Structure 1
Amino acid sequence: MRNLFSRPGVGLSSLNSELQQWRGIRVKVWNNNLEQALVIMQRIMRSSGIERMIKREQTHHIKNSEKRVLARKNLERKIRSQDLARKLKAILIKKVRGL
């Protein structure tokens, strides 16, 4: 990291592109065991959220029935979140008022 900033003439855009190259997943392969390396890579992808990001970026056709199901799930999630926020707000108001 130090040599990136110490080089004269390095612009912000080239610095940004070099930092982008550092990101990613690296897995060491021990004793030519690719299966184990793949298992580790999948675990890392799952825990870092890359897998969800890839699935979200897929551009395949989604059937209307799937769209309806996803829309209903999103609406239910939103309503649950609003209900929880409302309950927490009521609890906080009671605590502040000393009831």
Structure 2
Amino acid sequence: MNLAASHLASLLKHPSSAMNSVSSSLQQWRGIRIRVRDGNLDQALSFMQRKMTSSGMERLIKREQTHHIKNSEKRIIAQKNLHRRLQSQDLARKLKSILIKKVRGL
């Protein structure tokens, strides 16, 4: 959210120079684009928040933050990562057994 806010602030301060930097950064990084209709900024911000939540952008931003994470949150994240890793290993094991059976012609 801070990245979008900084781009918006630079657009408002220096529109001509900011447009060049924004257009070049948009070519490098595709983000969420929101149109402000009828000057209704509150509606656009709430729509952007919904889009960020549904696209997973919010999780990426939270992952990048370097603030303190509570121990309970660390445990939850660790459990989710463990569960994801075990599922991946289980799927790999099943696929391996299927491929071995196909290769052997069983």
Residues 1:94 and 1:19: Cα distance change in structure 2 (over 3 Å): farther
The offset of 1:20, in angstroms, is 5.3
Q: What percentage of residue pairs aligned between the two structures are identical?
A: 69
Aligned Cα RMSD in Å?
A: 2.5
- After TM superposition, where is structure 1 displaced by more than 6 Å over at least 4 residues in a row? none
Gaps in structure 2 of 5+ consecutive residues: 1-20
Is the aligned partner of 1:40 residue 2:44?
no
Gaps in structure 1 of 5+ consecutive residues: 1-16
- Spell out, residue by residue over 1:39-96, the C-alpha distance to the aligned partner (whole angstroms, 9 max, x if none): 3322432354321111101222222333233222211211111011111111122123
How many residue pairs align between the two structures?
Answer: 83
Q: Which residue of 2 is the match for residue 96 of structure 1?
A: 103
Q: Which residue of 1 is the match for residue 72 of structure 2?
A: 65
Greater RCO between the two (CA within 8 Å, min separation 6)?
Answer: 2
Which structure would you say has the larger Rg?
1
Q: Which residue of 2 is the match for residue 21 of structure 1?
A: 25
What TM-score results when the alignment is normalised by the length of structure 1? 0.62
More helix by share: 2
What TM-score results when the alignment is normalised by the length of structure 2? 0.59
